[in-house]
Structure 1
């Protein structure tokens, strides 16, 4: 029996990780995100078992099952999208059309496999594993299946990954309309893991085709499985840690039509003046958990009117409006005190140093340290001149 020891160990470990994660999810309260996460983990488990079936040599006992995981793999992109939708979208549920489109992936993957599945006997399929016994014509069936299925996989899954990234981007923009701090709700880790999944699956497709053509590189059979294992472990760990967001922590449901302006310029100018006043005098921006709802209750103006004023009159969202005041105070503290940046971050209302650094650089085009250094140089030049 031909056994690839390294890949068998790696994929066996991935099976263990996925099973443990699945057990953990199933033991928790059943909520929409956990249901979709369990479905995604189940598909990942079936996919990994398919790879283990081949590399462990078990395929020799049931050659007809070789490649059975490929249609399952086609569902991973849609499953990731649906998990993201359950976690981030304020809309109630995906449409039936969404599920039907997702199911076209496995159908498209099966079509190139038909000549291989039904055109060859079990003995002929086993013979393909050895260059000395394979039939050249039969090998063409295998190549057609391999290249065809992988092309479908790359295009289909790539489309779903792009759609999921767009969903995450829209989620973050919607959060910025309602909250001044979005670290917990934004699921920033998901974007990184999503890109890594895309890279892993693209590498898988390329290497899958390369092996069929007899092309190998020094990392064949080692680098990709290890990379897949790391991404799987990271995803499972972060997904299990992610708190379920309630509807108040998400954006607004998608609207079929763009909402028209309802306030006059004069009214928006009045609301703008009131917003600036409450920021200057009451320094509400220093509240780490300041939200549009809190601000609305504090000044007695509806959330819709505040949002409209910010977007139409001030040309910014709630997140950037509040953080602009935090940055201005941070600039003052940097120049007038000896406080550390790490202290100033929390003093001005931020609850994350990374968010502070990003916001500071966006507003000043400099890091906090570079800003302080530059301002001191300018002040020194004025004194010496």
Structure 2
């Protein structure tokens, strides 16, 4: 007799578990230099795999029956896992951006909910004494008689979203630092990490909305959202691995933080800064869309750190502004003096895309390139 063990909804969870386990093994076996965050990514993958296993044990009836023969405790074995996902993601992003590895002394506070989990379970078991605990195996609503259980479920969601927001903040701060070293920060900005963090936040936002639906007694909607989140989780893990492994080289090397105190520039520094401006113009260095502060330092034959110091302190701007102001001035001249297309103008000015050109040009001129040409070109 053929018996259906897993249904189509369970399949997404099974694939998620299998894929996470396999890729975790690959990440742990690949030998790479420190600062790649492979161990943290492997931990995050396993956290999602264990969460999927916990869900599968409860909602797959054949598997639930087999597990229930051991008592109620297996259903509480992995419910601590969602608490570690946010901290692991944050540690992974921080490691990839700054090479800042996990430190137990500094980061142990992020795992306090996991350390307190046994105490939470003890309180929940005490609140559900008298049959509700065992009844909850087949009637999930019975566990909602424990206020601590409800708080724990909301703790998952709030914690994950808070860490997701923290990761977004960290990435935005990094984008500001990129402007100190790149004339086109988008070339070095870790777009794939934005997608990873965005996927994580989107996934837990869906969990949060599902919880709200349950809170508002919209049981059917809550059930549908609970099923769909399994498929979303599988898609998220797939994209996480794809971007982490295939796009890992786009992460820029760690950049030094700006100095806390800035000294008043002397006459020598001011002259050196003006010389950098002349060099940028005479050699048309700004025409390189991928120009970096390292390239400018090499052309000027002075240390990279000194170049950053001169631009920041003597000219009062960052490298991004320093180069793009020159590009905009060239674009203004070409728009007025010639009949080239906008695409040709942006290419001859050192920009690499029309969207970037329009955004930067309007930032400095407060007009679009087309409007500027229309108002300033001689009849």
Same fold (TM over 0.5): yes
- Could you tell me which residue of structure 2 aligns to residue 225 of structure 1? 230
In structure 2, distance between residues paired with 1:302 and 1:11? 54
Whether the 8 Å contact between 2:157 and 2:207 is mirrored in structure 1 is no
2:136 is the counterpart of 1:128:
yes
The structure-2 alpha-carbon separation of the partners of 1:199 and 1:8, relative to structure 1 and needing over 3 Å to count, comes to same
Gaps of 5+ in 2: none
Gaps of 5+ in 1: none
Whether the 8 Å contact between 1:4 and 1:55 is mirrored in structure 2 is no
2:184 is the counterpart of 1:189:
no
- Could you tell me which residue of structure 2 aligns to residue 168 of structure 1? 171
Query: Displacement of 1:227 after TM fit?
Result: 3.0
Query: Displacement of 1:209 after TM fit?
Result: 6.6
- Could you tell me which residue of structure 1 aligns to residue 369 of structure 2? 371
The structure-2 alpha-carbon separation of the partners of 1:206 and 1:288, relative to structure 1 and needing over 3 Å to count, comes to closer
- Could you tell me which residue of structure 2 aligns to residue 43 of structure 1? 47
- Could you tell me which residue of structure 1 aligns to residue 308 of structure 2? 307
Query: Displacement of 1:298 after TM fit?
Result: 1.8
- Could you tell me which residue of structure 2 aligns to residue 238 of structure 1? 243
Pick the aligned partner of 1:86 from 95, 119, 132. 95
Whether the 8 Å contact between 1:268 and 1:313 is mirrored in structure 2 is yes
Whether the 8 Å contact between 2:262 and 2:313 is mirrored in structure 1 is no
Query: Displacement of 1:195 after TM fit?
Result: 3.0
Cα deviation per residue 1:176-197 (whole Å; 9 max; x = unaligned)?
Answer: 2122233353212322431331
- Could you tell me which residue of structure 2 aligns to residue 216 of structure 1? 219
| 328-337 or 169-178, larger mean C-alpha shift | 328-337
The structure-2 alpha-carbon separation of the partners of 1:274 and 1:344, relative to structure 1 and needing over 3 Å to count, comes to same
- Could you tell me which residue of structure 2 aligns to residue 21 of structure 1? 23
Whether the 8 Å contact between 2:358 and 2:369 is mirrored in structure 1 is no
Query: Displacement of 1:294 after TM fit?
Result: 2.2
- Could you tell me which residue of structure 1 aligns to residue 289 of structure 2? 288
2:263 is the counterpart of 1:249:
no
Query: Displacement of 1:322 after TM fit?
Result: 1.3
Cα deviation per residue 1:89-123 (whole Å; 9 max; x = unaligned)?
Answer: 155x3443333112213134554332334665897
2:153 is the counterpart of 1:153:
no
The structure-2 alpha-carbon separation of the partners of 1:324 and 1:5, relative to structure 1 and needing over 3 Å to count, comes to farther
SS at match of 1:249: coil
Whether the 8 Å contact between 1:14 and 1:232 is mirrored in structure 2 is yes
Whether the 8 Å contact between 1:326 and 1:348 is mirrored in structure 2 is yes
Whether the 8 Å contact between 1:90 and 1:251 is mirrored in structure 2 is no
Whether the 8 Å contact between 1:177 and 1:318 is mirrored in structure 2 is yes
2:204 is the counterpart of 1:201:
yes
In structure 1, distance between residues paired with 2:211 and 2:4? 18
The structure-2 alpha-carbon separation of the partners of 1:311 and 1:43, relative to structure 1 and needing over 3 Å to count, comes to same
**Superposed counterparts of 1:62-81, under 5 Å:** 62=67, 63-81=72-90
The structure-2 alpha-carbon separation of the partners of 1:59 and 1:163, relative to structure 1 and needing over 3 Å to count, comes to same
In structure 2, distance between residues paired with 1:213 and 1:122? 28
Whether the 8 Å contact between 2:182 and 2:319 is mirrored in structure 1 is yes
Whether the 8 Å contact between 2:293 and 2:319 is mirrored in structure 1 is yes
Cα deviation per residue 1:244-285 (whole Å; 9 max; x = unaligned)?
Answer: 479x83211x58x71331632x33431231121112111111
In structure 2, distance between residues paired with 1:224 and 1:285? 47
Whether the 8 Å contact between 2:17 and 2:49 is mirrored in structure 1 is yes
Aligned residues: 367
Query: Displacement of 1:207 after TM fit?
Result: 2.2
**Superposed counterparts of 1:44-63, under 5 Å:** 44-57=48-61, 58-62=63-67, 63=72
In structure 1, distance between residues paired with 2:357 and 2:27? 34
Whether the 8 Å contact between 1:21 and 1:240 is mirrored in structure 2 is no
SS at match of 1:29: coil
Whether the 8 Å contact between 2:45 and 2:237 is mirrored in structure 1 is no
Query: Displacement of 1:365 after TM fit?
Result: 4.3
